[in-house]
Amino acid sequence: MPDPDVEDLLRPLAPQVLGAVIRRYGHFDLAEDATQEALLAAATQWPVAGIPDNPRGWLITVAGRRLTDLLRSDHARQRREATVARWARPDQMLAPAADRPPESDDTLILLFRCCHPALSPASQIALTLRAVGGLTTAEIARAFLVPEATMTRRISRAKQRIKESGLPFRLPPPAERAERLGAVLHVLYLIFTEGYASTSGPNLQRTELAAEAIRLTRTVHALLPDDGEITGLLALLLLTDARRPARTGPAGELIPMAEQDRGRWNADYIAEGLALVSEVLPRGPTGPYQLQAAIAALHDEAPSTEATDWPQIVALYELLLDLTENPMVALNHAVAVAMAGGPQAGLDLVGKLQHDERLAHDHRLHAVRAHLLELAGDHRAARESYLAAAELTMSRPQQRYLYGRAIRLADLPATETTEATEDS
């Protein structure tokens, strides 16, 4: 059994230890393996032998020794590889070490490295969870419901690509930093959504991924407290995760926001999220994560669907639409318009979206149309849309929910209305 106290101690140390080993010896790929083995050794030894006086030093030493072993077997197995040190351009060779950063930045450097643009999003996520989150390959594979061998291959390919890129262990140059930070935030967001609304498989939520995304985002926020979008992302994750306890029923079934017991929402997360939103919004400029956090805040503050400030939500979605070309934002905007101005206004917007190739085969478009048709009283058309949505989703709880709505409508008279939600 893993010891929770030791686990809590080890996870934040993981990127610090890896950073220290890479700084001293290089070899990103093997250093990562060596650090994992040191963490594993600690997880098995410390609960029995006790926690050493200097846990970080212990881990660095053990990882360093393990790296020596790995290098020796690596050298014995294959011929020495000559890596072209791309960064050693003679004209900048002796630039003063202005970038000598405090060691706390190692976590950031690792995040930038794991979210390198040469990697696919799936590889970025897997590598981030391992190298920065300190999760084992088996844990990551379980979280993403793929065989461990598949995840092992994905991670080793990602590490190989990073090795080939030959980048030195340092923060990206200032000119690239904003863009690269965007990639980091996107990966954290994807880890969260994968945990919060699983795209496949029998369980609707894999809470450990959502919790890990929040933990990592907190870390980044602590390192760069003045960045508005990091603050916005942390607020968004907290305000969304706050609803998790009410989002599923006893049998794991999906409960839409309109029908959730708001008393079960996580009041601490809501308070923390609201404080972050009100701290960051006046600062400007307002980015997409801040806007989504502001929308989530309006939902979380409202005592009920009816009492929600829908016109304000419509206005925020319109600002968001100016910033992003995301069809899901357009879809959520349509829902908000329907809630503020009646279902027909929403249906008109959904009608324009169904020709968007990115949405045409997404269950969410059909689910939203079904809700709005139901709200408008067109039960026959609503039922068809629920069935179409159920066919398209990969998530079994969502399927059960959508089939359930469709079956219920078959028994209803044509005038009764129920409420639409944006949360399905």
Partner 1 sequence: MKYMIMLYGSQQDYDVLSGRPTAKPAMSGVEIAAMHEYMESFHKRLADSGELVDAQGLSAPVHARRIRLDNRVPVVTDGPYPETQEVLAGYTIVECASIDRAIEIAAGLVNPDADGEYVDVRPIIDGIADLEL
**What single-letter DSSP state applies at residue 83?**
-
Of the candidate residues 2, 5, 65, 301, the single one contacting partner 1 (CB under 8 A): 65
What distance in Å separates the CA atoms of residue 93 and residue 365, rounded to the nearest whole number? 55
Contact 364, 389 (CB under 8 A): yes
DSSP-assigned beta bridge partners for residue 248: 254
**DSSP letter string over 396-414?**
HHHHHHHHHHHHHHHTS-T
Mark residue 146 as left, alpha or beta (left: phi above 0; alpha: psi -120 to 50; beta: remaining): beta
Distance CA 22, CA 14 (A): 12
61 binds partner 1 (CB under 8 A): yes
Minimum CB separation from partner 1 for residue 87, in Å?
Answer: 6
Q: Report if residue 87 touches partner 1, rule: CB under 8 A.
A: yes
Of the candidate spans 53-61, 233-241, 283-291, 373-381, the one that interacts with partner 1 by CB under 8 A turns out to be 53-61
Sole window of 91-99, 262-270, 317-325, 403-411 interacting with partner 1 (rule: CB under 8 A): 91-99
Asked whether position 74 contacts partner 1 by CB under 8 A, the answer is: no
Distance CA 162, CA 182 (A): 19
The least CB distance from residue 33 to partner 1, in Å, is 18
Which DSSP helix (H) or strand (E) runs through 215? helix 207-223
Query: Which residue in 2, 40, 44, 57 binds partner 1 (CB under 8 A)?
Result: 57
Identify the residue among 101, 228, 245, 249 touching partner 1 (CB under 8 A).
101
Contact call for residue 108 and partner 1 (CB under 8 A): no
Report if residue 202 touches partner 1, rule: CB under 8 A. Answer: no
Shortest Cβ 171–partner 1 spacing (Å):
11
Helices and strands: H and E segment counts in the chain: 20, 0
Q: Which two tokens stand for residue 373?
A: 């048709």
Nearer to partner 1, 28 or 386 (CB): 28
**Binding test (CB under 8 A) with partner 1, winner from 142, 169, 319, 384:** 169
80 binds partner 1 (CB under 8 A): no
Of the ranges 163-171, 263-271, 399-407, 412-420, which one interacts with partner 1 (CB under 8 A)? Answer: 163-171
CB of 112: closest distance to partner 1 in angstroms?
A: 14
> How many CA atoms lie within 13 Å of 422's alpha carbon, on the beta-carbon side?
25
Query: What are the backbone dihedrals phi and psi of residue 248, each rounded to the nearest 5 degrees, phi first?
Result: -125, 150
User: Are 121 and 190 spatial neighbours (Cβ–Cβ below 8 Å)?
Assistant: yes
75 binds partner 1 (CB under 8 A): no
Stretch that binds partner 1, among 165-173, 362-370, 395-403, 409-417 (CB under 8 A): 165-173
- The DSSP symbol for 118 reads T
Compute how many residues bind partner 1; rule: CB under 8 A: 25
Judged by CB under 8 A, the residue of 2, 117, 147, 168 near partner 1 is 168
Decide if residue 46 touches partner 1 (CB under 8 A).
no
Please check whether residue 92 is in contact with residue 2, taking contact to mean a CB–CB distance below 8 angstroms: no
Quick one: 93 or 251, whose CB is closer to partner 1?
Answer: 93
Binding segment for partner 1 (CB under 8 A), chosen from 61-69, 132-140, 218-226, 300-308, is 61-69
Residue type, 416: E
Instruction: State the minimum distance, in angstroms, from the CB of residue 7 to partner 1.
Output: 22
CA-to-CA distance for 134 and 10, rounded, in angstroms?
8
Half-sphere exposure of 11 (CA within 13 A, CB side): 17
> Which class for 229: exposed (0-12), middle (13-18), buried (19 or more C-beta within 10 A)?
buried
Check if the beta carbon of residue 111 is closer than 8 Å to that of residue 127.
Answer: no
Q: Is 22 in the site for partner 1 (CB under 8 A)?
A: yes
Least Cβ distance, residue 98 to partner 1 (angstroms): 8
Please identify, using beta-carbon distances, which residue of 22 and 197 lies nearer to partner 1. 22
| By CB under 8 A, residue 90 contacts partner 1 | yes
Q: Considering the rule CB under 8 A, would residue 121 count as an interface residue with partner 1?
A: no
Does position 55 bind partner 1 by CB under 8 A? no
The letter for the amino acid at 173 is: P
Is the separation of the CB atoms in 296 and 239 below 8 Å? yes
Contact call for residue 403 and partner 1 (CB under 8 A): no
Q: Yes or no: say if 339 and 373 are a contact pair by the CB < 8 Å rule.
A: no
Tell me if 68 contacts partner 1 by CB under 8 A. no
Among 69, 75, 88, 178, binds partner 1 (CB under 8 A): 88
Supply the minimum distance, in Å, between the C-beta of residue 317 and partner 1. Answer: 45
Q: Is it true that the peptide bond before 285 is cis, omega within 30 degrees of 0?
A: yes
Catalog residues that contact partner 1 under the rule CB under 8 A.
22-26, 57-58, 61-62, 64-65, 85, 87-88, 90, 93-94, 96-97, 99-101, 168-170
